[in-house]
Amino acid sequence: MSLSSEQQTEILALREKKLTPKQIARKLGCKVSEVSQFLKNTATTQMMLAREGGSLAPIADCFVNKSCRDALFKPVDELDIFDEIGGLGLVFVKGNFDYLMGLNGF
């Protein structure tokens, strides 16, 4: 089942009110996966348009864990193509994402 334009408009309005995809799906009688996918597609499109228009929000902070930092910022003269880098690298970026119309929390 694809979402009608009325449902899409209602999804965005409900998301602005901070409802979760699950709450929105229940309210509209559709699948959570459909709502989630629509929100992700909409957020991606808005981000791409903002980037093309030069209006992306600046990054406020960027955090990485130690293993990620060590792997990414190793001095060039210390790089060895035979090094096995393993583990989990975490990167957290913090910014003001108002241009996503509240869609950044799913």
Which tens digit of pLDDT belongs to each residue from 10-50?
A: 999 999 999 999 999 999 999 999 999 999 999 888 888 88
Q: Which CATH architecture has domain 1-55?
A: Orthogonal Bundle (1.10)
Which tens digit of pLDDT belongs to each residue from 37-93?
A: 999 999 888 888 888 888 777 777 888 888 777 777 777 677 666 666 666 777 887
Closest C-alpha to 99, from 50, 38, 30: 50
7-to-13, 21, 23, 31 alpha-carbon distances in Å: 10, 13, 14, 12
pLDDT of residue 105: 40
Q: What does pTM read for this prediction?
A: 0.56
pLDDT of residue 44: 86
48: its two tokens: 């791409």
The long-range contacts involving 93-97, CB below 8 angstroms and separated by at least 24 positions, are 93/59, 93/61, 93/62, 94/59, 94/60, 94/61, 94/62, 94/63, 95/57, 95/58, 95/59, 95/60, 96/57, 96/58, 96/60, 97/57
CATH 1.10.10 domain range(s) in the chain: 1-55
Closest C-alpha to 12, from 30, 24, 23, 2: 24
> How far apart (Å, rounded) are the C-alpha atoms in residues 28 and 6?
10
15: its two tokens: 């998301």
